[in-house]
């Protein structure tokens, strides 16, 4: 049989069909195999769990809000009326020791013991018991500020006493003093005279207003110089000669035996150490030696002084205290 000029037979058609069938079968098998693999892989993948809110897992068991955690620590309410220190001993201590907060069950006195208590200055009665002349001069110095903001001493020659004041005019201390053997207010011996050349009648402690400072004498002793040229100073009592009995005179209850020096002012060592040295150690000061032959007002120029009367004042050298070679104590 011919078709379009080409011979065809049944065999040829069958062979073509038979040849194409295996190819189709193979291709179809491959497609089926691939599909099976994909489906198997999907079937083995774990199924994703639905999202869970964090808030739903935090309270799996509801809290019992009727009981506050802090409320369970104190089964018995506190007695707030108790003092904290007393409450600390509400339960006995099995160790036989008191808590640290209860070691002082009895209040401790706040008063300092006598040795540790600060020393107070002399009372007003101390100055009130002084002579009228001393009180008048002290009042004038404070009111007029004649001391120039410096510490000052008042020397009462009539009663053989020394009064120490701070720069504000407040009385700090008082003590007896030894003075020149002779009475008078003016120096009679020349400045160049040696002590061996000074008879008793010229051994005078001069009166006046002296700008003073601390210095060291040739023996290495500290003293407060009043008049450098005349060798007049205030210092702790010296031993002197045995027959002078200076220490005994200084401690006697009367001032009648306090005239024994060559002109210097001798004071108890404790008074010098406590009041004189601290007050004058960093500054100069004023020493007012009250007269015994006239009025302080006339000498210092106040009160009942005669108009135009000169005021006594003796100034020291401007040399520093540590470089001053002071005259010897007497």
In tens, the pLDDT along 230-280 reads 999 999 999 888 989 999 999 999 999 999 999 999 999 999 999 999 999
Q: How far apart are the C-alpha atoms of 275 and 255, rounded to whole Å?
A: 21
Confidence (pLDDT) at 267: 97
Residue 84: which pLDDT band, with cuts at 50, 70 and 90? very low
Give the span between the Cα atoms of 270 and 164, in whole angstroms: 13
Residue 67 has pLDDT above 90, yes or no: no
Percentage above 70 pLDDT, the chain:
55
Mean of the per-residue pLDDT values for the chain?
72
Tokens matching residue 221: 């002793």
Residue 203 · residue 263 · CB < 8 Å: yes
Provide the pLDDT confidence category of residue 317 given band limits of 50, 70 and 90: very low
Query: Which CA distances in Å does 66 have to 60, 63, 71, 113?
Result: 18, 9, 10, 59
Model pLDDT, residue 87: 39
Contact 154, 134 (CB under 8 A): yes
- Convert the pLDDT of each residue in 183-213 to its tens digit: 999 999 998 888 889 999 999 999 999 999 9
Does the domain at 124-326 match CATH 2.60.40.420? Answer given as no
More confident residue, 302 or 37: 302
- To the nearest whole percent, how much of the chain has pLDDT over 90? 47
Cα–Cα distance for residue pair 24/141, rounded to 1 Å: 140
Structure token pair of residue 241: 């000669």
Better pLDDT: 210 or 321 = 210
Q: Which residues of 261-290 are buried (b: 16+ CB within 10 A; e: fewer)?
A: bbbbbbbbeebbebbbeebbeeebbbbbbb
Q: What separation in angstroms does the CA of 208 have from each of 186, 238, 297, 310?
A: 9, 23, 11, 11
Residue 22: the pLDDT is: 55
Provide the pLDDT for residue 246: 93
Distant-in-sequence, close-in-space partners of 108: CB < 8 Å, separation ≥ 6? none
pLDDT at 68 over 90: no
When mean pLDDT is compared across 102-111, 179-188, 309-318, the lowest value belongs to 102-111
Q: What is the pLDDT of residue 102?
A: 39
The DSSP output letter for 227 is E
Which of 306, 314, 302 is CA-nearest to residue 208? 314
Span 25-44, mean pLDDT? 53
Question: pLDDT, tens digit, for every residue of 149-164?
Answer: 999 999 999 999 999 9
* pLDDT of 328: 72
Look at residue 222 in the predicted model and tell me its pLDDT. Answer: 97
In 3-state terms, what secondary structure has residue 100?
helix
Mind listing the pLDDT tens digit for each residue in 277-312? 999 998 999 999 999 999 999 999 997 555 444 455
The per-residue pLDDT for 309 is 46
| Residue 153 near residue 285, CB atoms below 8 Å | yes
Q: Contact, 171 vs 127, CB < 8 A?
A: yes
Which pLDDT score, from 0 to 100, does residue 29 have?
Answer: 61
């Amino acid at each position: 049989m011919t078709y379009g000029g080409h011979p065809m037979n049944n065999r040829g058609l069958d062979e073509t069909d038979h040849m194409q069938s295996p190819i189709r079968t193979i291709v179809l098998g491959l497609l089926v195999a691939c599909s099976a693999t994909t489906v198997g892989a999907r079937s083995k993948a774990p199924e994703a769990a639905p999202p869970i809110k964090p808030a739903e897992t935090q309270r799996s068991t509801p809290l019992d809000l009727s009981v506050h955690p802090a409320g369970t620590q104190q089964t018995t309410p506190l007695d707030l009326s108790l003092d904290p220190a007393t409450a600390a001993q509400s339960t006995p201590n099995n160790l036989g020791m008191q808590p640290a907060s209860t070691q002082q069950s009895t209040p401790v006195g706040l008063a300092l013991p006598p040795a540790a208590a600060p020393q107070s200055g002399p009372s007003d009665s101390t100055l009130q018991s002084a002579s009228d002349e001393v009180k008048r001069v002290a009042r004038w110095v404070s009111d007029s500020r004649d001391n120039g903001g410096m510490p000052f001493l008042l020397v009462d020659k009539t009663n053989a006493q020394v009064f120490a004041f701070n720069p504000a005019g407040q009385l700090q201390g008082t003590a007896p003093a030894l003075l020149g053997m002779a009475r008078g207010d003016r120096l009679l011996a020349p400045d160049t005279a040696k002590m061996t050349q000074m008879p008793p009648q010229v051994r005078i402690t001069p009166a006046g207003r002296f700008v003073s400072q601390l210095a060291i004498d040739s023996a290495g002793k500290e003293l407060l110089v009043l008049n450098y040229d005349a060798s007049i100073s205030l210092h702790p009592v010296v031993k002197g000669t045995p027959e002078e009995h200076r220490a005994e005179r200084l401690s006697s209850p009367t001032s009648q035996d306090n005239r024994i020096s060559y002109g210097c002012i001798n004071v108890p060592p404790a008074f010098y150490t406590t009041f004189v040295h601290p007050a004058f150690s960093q500054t100069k000061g004023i020493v007012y030696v009250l007269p015994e032959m006239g009025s302080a007002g006339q000498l210092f120029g106040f009160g009942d002084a005669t108009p135009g009367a000169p005021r006594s004042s003796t100034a020291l050298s401007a040399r520093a205290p540590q470089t001053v070679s002071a005259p010897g104590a007497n």
